[in-house]
Amino acid sequence: MERKSPQQKKQLEYTKGHFTFGWNSSRMFPTTWKRKKTRANREYRRKSEELLTQAKPGIAVDDVELIADDLTSARFQKSVIRKRLHKTGTVTVGEKVKRKLQRREESAGRRVQHNQHYDRLAASAISTLRSLDGEKLVGVVRRADLLCAARKADELGRVLRSNDPIDRALHFLYRLGSGSAFEIDALRRNQELDKVLGIWMGKAKRILRRDRRAIETKLDQKQTVRMKLTTLRNG
Per-residue pLDDT tens digits of the chain, which is 235 residues long: 688 888 888 888 888 877 776 555 656 767 777 888 888 888 888 877 776 665 555 555 555 555 555 554 555 566 667 777 776 667 788 888 888 888 888 777 788 888 999 999 999 999 999 999 899 999 999 988 888 876 667 778 888 888 899 999 999 999 998 888 999 999 999 999 999 999 999 999 999 999 888 888 888 888 888 887 887 777 6
pTM (predicted TM-score)? 0.54
In this prediction, residue 72 carries a pLDDT of 46
* Largest distance between two CA atoms of the chain: 129
Please indicate, yes or no, if residue 18 is contained in any of the structural domains: no
3-state SS class at 89: coil
Do 65 and 136 belong to one domain?
Answer: no
Residues 137 and 212 in one domain: yes
In this structure, the answer to whether residues 115 and 80 fall within a common structural domain is: no
Q: What is the pLDDT of residue 201?
A: 92
Say if residue 72 is in the same domain as residue 126.
no
Give me the domain span that covers residue 134. 111-226
Per-residue b/e over 27-62, b at no fewer than 16 CB within 10 Å?
eebeeeeeeeeeeeeeebeebbbebbeeeeeeeeee
Same domain membership, residue 72 and residue 127: no
CA distances in angstroms from 133 to 34, 140, 141, 167, 204, listed in the order given: 75, 10, 11, 16, 11
Let me know whether 81 and 117 are in one domain.
no
Within a domain: residue 139? Answer: yes
105 falls within a domain: no
Q: Please answer whether residues 45 and 80 qualify as being in contact, where contact means their C-beta atoms are separated by less than 8 angstroms.
A: no
Quote the number of domains for the chain: 2
Q: What is the CA radius of gyration of the chain?
A: 38
- Position 228 scores a pLDDT of 79
- Looking at the fold, whether 64 and 170 belong to one and the same domain comes out as no
Output the CA angle 212-213-219, nearest 5 degrees: 90
Q: In terms of domains, do 40 and 122 share one? A: no
d(CA 148, CA 171): 9
pLDDT at 190: 92
- List the one residue out of 50, 205, 186, 67 whose CA is nearest residue 119: 186
Which phi-psi region, left, alpha or beta, contains residue 59 (left: φ > 0; alpha: ψ -120 to 50)? beta
* The pLDDT of residue 185: 93
Q: Which of 163, 123, 149 is nearest to 204 (CA)?
A: 149
Q: Quick check: is 11 in a domain?
A: no
Q: Per the domain annotation, does 231 fall within a domain?
A: no
CA nearest neighbour of 89 among 157, 32, 162: 32
* Rounded-to-integer distance, Cα 202 and Cα 6, Å: 64
